[in-house]
Structure 1
Amino acid sequence: MEDVGLILDLVLAFGAALVGGFVAQRIGLPVLIGYVLAGVLIGPNTPGWSADFERVQLLANLGVAFLMFALGVELSFAELQRMRRVATVGGAIQLTLTFGLGAAAAIVLDWSLPAAFLLGGAFAISSSLVAIKLFLGRGEGTSLQARAALSLGVVQDLSLVPMLALLPLLAGTEDNLAVSLARSLGVAIVALGAVVVLGTRVVPKILFLVAGSGSRELFLLSVVVIALGTAVASHAAGLSLALGAFLAGLVVSESEFDSQVLTEIIPLRDLFATLFFVALGMLIEPRILAGQAGLIVALVAVLVVGKFVIGTAAFLIGGLEPRTATLAAIGMAQIGEFSFVLAGAGLGFGIITRSQYGLVLEVALGSILVAPLLMRFGPVLADAVSRLPGIHERTATLLGAAPPHEELSRHVLICGFGRVGSELGAALERRGLRYAVIEINPAVVRDLREAGVIAYYGDSGAEPLLLRAGVRRARTLAVTVSDLVSAQAAVRIARELNPTIDIVTRATDADVVEILRRAGAGEVVQPEFEAGLEFVRHVLRRQGVSARETELITSRRRTNFYDGGEASERS
């Protein structure tokens, strides 16, 4: 009889994730929480039909590799280079202080000094995978805060190497600390060098050769081999799978094939990354959770709050502005898979007991469950951080000269000056129409002010900022930001302060069109839908349909989409 055990485990894991994610989304929770709770239900520690953890974990590693590889492809060496101060200065501060926080918690719990070292290390290392999934869920996968969190995550991943090298010494099985550290660091440096050299010289040639065959299947196979091969090589050298896959993605990002590689890998990324969170849920032991609930909750609170405060300070000192620093710190206010690796190694050396190992796992999983909920309060927390003594003055220095205070009237107020906002601004400039800008990126604000544009730094959803930008006297408000919370707040506040203002806003997804309409937007633009209509217009005209009829078809379709009449049209 055929062995279908692996297939059954896949069906069970994906099915549970589907149900858990759907239920979580319907009740207003992040889908990540649904995935983790689904893992609890099919885990070995819960009564009923359970999946094989080892097999699910093995497949979950594919998700880790594909997710980090895709992220590397989306970024570039140049973008990470701009984050070097955040990575070095901020990373050193964050690692040192969070290590001390974890060690202090262990001492309070009366753990041994070697065990305190291990808990400190576990507290210091966040899960880059969890952080990136949080940002991807907000449509901010390549945002400044995501890049900052990732740069810090790379430093944390590298710090795991010396931590693991120290464990034999702490356990009394290694006498020569210098030799142990030198061996581990030497292997890591050689491995990183090999990845960069081979990646820059060999990978582009392989992709060029395979792309020349014209076979999409062969191209996909080459991408998978590069991603997984580099990840495995990294792991064999004592580094993490995630770091190796990320470096492979960075190398590919410098080639001319980056867009096609991303197209091929994203479906695999989204599919297998789900298993990572299901596998995390399978680790939860309800027995330990029930027996030490109070202690676990207390440690999760100390961990999340401590890492958030320390992370925010580290990112600020690293040179980020308050909002970006706050959101990046929220993304990293958890511990994950590398803490499991460190705790597992400590258990193997006898540094911690089985009970202490279980406690580390439960605290880590608790922090991962809390992280998506904390992210929802990101704009509020960012606003609070911006108002702290000294922070506002520091930000003002970064921005350069403030715009002259003048009574703007009947102007256009643009919230967000990315690709959409800058295009609108350029059109207004050409027509000689006055406008003001609210933008969260301090570099953009500084450049706009130097160019003579009236620009204000801050969150578009902040009422004092909207008032200063003259929202009461503005003729039109154009909200182009992708952050739904900020967009919704900006629309609602503007409508309250100026009932006659014309408001046009961008909807990143079709699901939020009605949300923004209810907030007070007069017109909502959904980019993907508008692109689809442009295709319709182009094809119909080329097929001989008259301009008048084409305009009628697209207008009717636009009305049905934005006014919510699609359901009745289909019936």
Structure 2
Amino acid sequence: MTHLPHLVMDLGLILGAAGITTLIFKKLKQPLVLGYIIAGLLVGPHFNLFPTIIEIENINVWAEIGVIFLLFSLGLEFSFKKLVKVGGASSIMAGVEVIVMLLLGYLTGKMLGWSTMDSVFLGGILSISSTTIIIRAFDELGVKSQRFAGLVFGVLIVEDLVAILLLVLLSTLAVSQQFAGTEMLQAVLKLAFFLVVWFLAGIFLIPTFLRKASKLMNDETLLIVSIALCFIMVILAAQVGFSPALGAFIMGSILAETTKAEKIEHLVTSVKDLFGAIFFVSVGILINPAMIVEYAGPIALITVVTIVGKMVSITGGGLMAGQGLRTSIQSGMSVSQIGEFSFIIATLGLTLNVTSDFLYPVAVAVSAITTFTTPYMIKLADPLHRSVEGMLPERWKTSLNEYSSGAETISTVSDWKIVLRSYVINLVVYSVILIAIVLASGNFLYPFITENFINGVWGGVATVAIALVFMAPFLWAMAVYHPQKEAQGRIWANRNYRSLIIVLEFTRVGIAILFIGFLLNQVLSVQVAIVSSLFIIGLLVVFSRRIQNFYTRIEDRFMSNLNAREIEAASKMTHTLVPWDAHLTSFEVSPNAVVVGKSMIELQIREKYGVNVAVIEREGRNIMAPTRNERIFPGDKIYVFGTDEQIEAFSEFVNEEFIPSSNGETTREEISLQKLVVSPASRLLGKTVRESGVREKTKGLIVGIEKNGERMLNPDSELVIGEGDILWIVGSPWRIKQLEAARQEA
């Protein structure tokens, strides 16, 4: 009889059990993750009715590979651009929830008499919600298009990044065994440093590589290359002291910015499902049913803390962000569970031998219970909202509505904010790049040159020369480059601010010189470093033009790779219609465009320019065939259909911005949402919205009217304004106050 390795037998047993349970759970319309966990419980060492796994250690290796693929797939769906686009409301809600649940988890563990490390890890386990379970529940209930669902997706994106940060911080805490603020800060800074380095290098190199090799790649080779890149980053992350899962997540997020992202995600799905199933089955294998029975009380308590804590924290965060009572409650009721990342955090505690054996099965039991309750919690959101609204005093509801309306303020960005933000971003990005080059030169390049080619001082000189070739474009960008020339020019036109601009310029140059000294100090003596630094600065000045051209090519390559998906999507939207020579193209609306805040009927785009607005893309959703009352907002992408001549004329209009006045000051004004109550003496009384002259007098728009307790959004232009009506006007506050003053004088 042929000998069959235990690993093959165990793998067959795992997949067989997983296959049967998933079919059953699919029939019952329950989450497959729970089926995998139960399959692991059945073939684990604590259940003797079925064949049992022989070598659990080997299965743990497969499970770790499963975690890598889970995080890789999560990174493919994550994308750092999505994080940047996440609104302030979702960020506030996620921040409040994570802080509250970390604290509640820690206090609950201490109340149960658990150790400090068990309590800390419990807080981490409870702070992250399950993306998979929430998306599945939204699909089944058909609520993905509702407003609160968009907020929840934003919360999940922020939580993904927080979970990565927690993995690093908990690993650091587990190693140090103490809450050392310095070590925690170092861990965070180290994580931020490597995130920036990996992201910048990855975006610069990987999309270019995939594009040049695209002719050689079919589905098979693309899958192999993608998995190879994933494991290369896994190795790099492990080499610098991070978890392998972090490396997989980072590579996934880098590939998410490429034009091959959807294809890679499709190809990796089957591999991820296979190893993910092994991971979740291994979760079940480690569960001891007797321990769950023994800790039934703590499980029940932690389940209640999870459901109530997440519901209250997210709802509170939503109210703080001005999202209104109904939307906040719906969001809070949607995220009251724990899932994949919670298992990974619990596994981390076991792997590092810093948590007790009972914490893992407790976390799994809580996850199973909260998974079952999630759909019912979402369904109960509306009844709960009605009950809460019925119990609230009228003045509380009025205050909430006013706060929610006041939070929806549109404001323009001043030139100083634009310039300072660009200075800070440039300083951080280029500092990280320069530090990475200097450290790589001192730790790797210098030993390699001195050991294999040139010894002594000349080895250091050669190292400096090579490093400077790579550093030169970034030194030039840090010291000379002006990414916001127009905004800085408008500030310079005001003589009062010129001294501040000069100080900023000298600061940039000084920091660049410090980096040169930092490099020289790594491989040369102090005396040689001082003399060499002056010589190097001279060379940089002499070759400034060539360095500038070199940097421009680097920046163009990076931005092209970063925006490759958007460029490809736009090209797919551009089609020519023969024989009229008309085509579809897109325009992105800047915050300062004159079209911002105006409706289709006010702009009269088709009448004036002959083009049709086919689609408005706004925050990940498409408004197809927008109506006459649809308004344009900052950041919208407008897809228009017309001939070359029509589109060219429309392009000049849509790109038109506010023009600075002759004295150097801009004509930009603060824009906000203001409330105006129509009094018996008001000039607006009895007039229609069109006749009121609000747009002409305030440079604003009536976006809402409250009439006899009824709210009307974007009211019809023929609606008559009556006494006691509350007008909501988007416009310049001082102009609206002038309108009120004119009304009172009359």
TM-score range, shorter chain: 0.5 to 0.7
| Residues 271 and 112 of structure 1, relative CA distance in 2, 3 Å threshold | closer
CA separation in 1, counterparts of 2:380 and 2:405? 19
Task: State the match for 2:79 in structure 1.
Answer: 76
| Residues 252 and 345 of structure 1, relative CA distance in 2, 3 Å threshold | closer
Instruction: Return the offset for 1:71.
Output: 3.6
Task: State the match for 1:161 in structure 2.
Answer: 168
Task: State the match for 2:158 in structure 1.
Answer: 151
Within the candidate set 42, 50, 53, 2:52 is matched to: 50
Instruction: Return the offset for 1:28.
Output: 3.8
Q: Residues 434-449 of structure 1 correspond to what in structure 2 (within 5 A)?
A: none
Q: Secondary structure at the match of 2:357?
A: helix
Q: Residues 130-209 of structure 1 correspond to what in structure 2 (within 5 A)?
A: 130-136=130-136, 138-139=138-139, 145-170=152-177, 177=180, 180-209=183-212
Task: State the match for 2:40 in structure 1.
Answer: 39
Does the aligned pair in 2 maintain the 1:97–1:310 contact within 8 Å? yes
Partner amino acid for 2:291? I
Task: State the match for 1:542 in structure 2.
Answer: none
Task: State the match for 2:510 in structure 1.
Answer: none
Instruction: Return the offset for 1:315.
Output: 5.2
Partner amino acid for 1:104? L
Does the aligned pair in 1 maintain the 2:72–2:230 contact within 8 Å? yes
TM-align CA RMSD: 4.4
1:372 equivalenced with 2:371 (yes/no) = yes
Instruction: Return the offset for 1:336.
Output: 1.7
Q: Residues 11-22 of structure 1 correspond to what in structure 2 (within 5 A)?
A: 11-22=12-23
Instruction: Return the offset for 1:221.
Output: 0.7
Q: Secondary structure at the match of 2:335?
A: helix
Within the candidate set 336, 359, 368, 2:342 is matched to: 336
Within the candidate set 269, 273, 284, 1:270 is matched to: 273
CA separation in 2, counterparts of 1:419 and 1:184? 34
Does the aligned pair in 1 maintain the 2:314–2:328 contact within 8 Å? no
| Residues 4 and 205 of structure 1, relative CA distance in 2, 3 Å threshold | farther
Instruction: Return the offset for 1:366.
Output: 1.3
Instruction: Return the offset for 1:29.
Output: 2.6
| Residues 83 and 418 of structure 1, relative CA distance in 2, 3 Å threshold | closer
CA separation in 2, counterparts of 1:31 and 1:118? 26
Instruction: Return the offset for 1:3.
Output: 4.8
Instruction: Return the offset for 1:38.
Output: 1.0
CA separation in 2, counterparts of 1:133 and 1:206? 35
Moved more, 37-46 or 320-329: 320-329
Q: Residues 360-439 of structure 1 correspond to what in structure 2 (within 5 A)?
A: 360-383=359-382, 384-385=384-385, 388=389, 422-423=623-624
Instruction: Return the offset for 1:278.
Output: 1.4
Partner amino acid for 1:30? P
Task: State the match for 1:256 in structure 2.
Answer: 259
Task: State the match for 2:678 in structure 1.
Answer: none
Task: State the match for 2:490 in structure 1.
Answer: none
| Residues 274 and 92 of structure 1, relative CA distance in 2, 3 Å threshold | same
Deviations 1:453-483 (A, max 9, x none): x99xxxxxxxxx9xx9xxxxxxxxxxxxxxx
Deviations 1:402-447 (A, max 9, x none): xxxxxxxxxxxxxxx9999944x55xx6xx9xx99xxxxxx99xxx
Partner amino acid for 2:257? E
Does the aligned pair in 2 maintain the 1:210–1:222 contact within 8 Å? no
Instruction: Return the offset for 1:155.
Output: 1.3
CA separation in 1, counterparts of 2:243 and 2:88? 23
| Residues 230 and 303 of structure 1, relative CA distance in 2, 3 Å threshold | same
| Residues 335 and 269 of structure 1, relative CA distance in 2, 3 Å threshold | closer
Task: State the match for 1:29 in structure 2.
Answer: 30
Partner amino acid for 2:13? L
CA separation in 2, counterparts of 1:55 and 1:312? 44
Task: State the match for 1:104 in structure 2.
Answer: 107
Partner amino acid for 1:309? V
Instruction: Return the offset for 1:33.
Output: 1.8
CA separation in 2, counterparts of 1:319 and 1:225? 45
Does the aligned pair in 1 maintain the 2:96–2:317 contact within 8 Å? yes
Deviations 1:146-196 (A, max 9, x none): 34213213113203323332345546xxxx935533553344234323321
Deviations 1:491-514 (A, max 9, x none): xxxxxxxxxxxxxxxxxxxxxxxx
Partner amino acid for 1:45? H
Q: How many residues align?
A: 416
Does the aligned pair in 2 maintain the 1:98–1:120 contact within 8 Å? yes
Q: Secondary structure at the match of 1:376?
A: helix
Moved more, 264-273 or 135-144: 135-144
Does the aligned pair in 1 maintain the 2:234–2:246 contact within 8 Å? yes
Instruction: Return the offset for 1:399.
Output: 7.3
Task: State the match for 1:359 in structure 2.
Answer: 358
Instruction: Return the offset for 1:254.
Output: 1.9
| Residues 317 and 40 of structure 1, relative CA distance in 2, 3 Å threshold | farther
| Residues 278 and 41 of structure 1, relative CA distance in 2, 3 Å threshold | same
CA separation in 2, counterparts of 1:180 and 1:399? 40
Task: State the match for 1:322 in structure 2.
Answer: 328
| Residues 316 and 248 of structure 1, relative CA distance in 2, 3 Å threshold | farther
- What runs of 5+ residues in structure 1 fail to find an aligned partner? 401-416, 437-442, 445-451, 456-464, 469-571
Partner amino acid for 1:151? V
Does the aligned pair in 2 maintain the 1:94–1:311 contact within 8 Å? yes
Task: State the match for 2:294 in structure 1.
Answer: 291
| Residues 322 and 123 of structure 1, relative CA distance in 2, 3 Å threshold | closer
Instruction: Return the offset for 1:376.
Output: 0.9
Instruction: Return the offset for 1:40.
Output: 0.6
Q: Given the two structures, how large is their TM-score scaled by the length of structure 1? A: 0.61
Deviations 1:539-563 (A, max 9, x none): xxxxxxxxxxxxxxxxxxxxxxxxx
CA separation in 1, counterparts of 2:133 and 2:240? 26
CA separation in 1, counterparts of 2:185 and 2:267? 40
Instruction: Return the offset for 1:339.
Output: 3.1
| Residues 317 and 160 of structure 1, relative CA distance in 2, 3 Å threshold | farther
Partner amino acid for 1:94? E
Partner amino acid for 2:349? A
Partner amino acid for 1:146? F
Deviations 1:335-387 (A, max 9, x none): 722431453367x35xx5xxxx2331122101221232222124324323585
| Residues 314 and 160 of structure 1, relative CA distance in 2, 3 Å threshold | farther
CA separation in 2, counterparts of 1:197 and 1:421? 30
Moved more, 89-98 or 195-204: 89-98
Task: State the match for 2:69 in structure 1.
Answer: 66
CA separation in 2, counterparts of 1:84 and 1:65? 29
CA separation in 2, counterparts of 1:288 and 1:299? 15
Does the aligned pair in 2 maintain the 1:131–1:332 contact within 8 Å? no
CA separation in 2, counterparts of 1:394 and 1:242? 42
Q: Secondary structure at the match of 1:202?
A: helix
CA separation in 2, counterparts of 1:191 and 1:199? 11
| Residues 295 and 257 of structure 1, relative CA distance in 2, 3 Å threshold | closer
CA separation in 1, counterparts of 2:62 and 2:248? 15
Does the aligned pair in 1 maintain the 2:133–2:371 contact within 8 Å? no
Percent of pairs with identical residues: 21
Partner amino acid for 1:248? M
Instruction: Return the offset for 1:81.
Output: 0.6
Instruction: Return the offset for 1:267.
Output: 1.9
CA separation in 2, counterparts of 1:318 and 1:56? 45
Instruction: Return the offset for 1:30.
Output: 2.5
Does the aligned pair in 2 maintain the 1:121–1:339 contact within 8 Å? yes
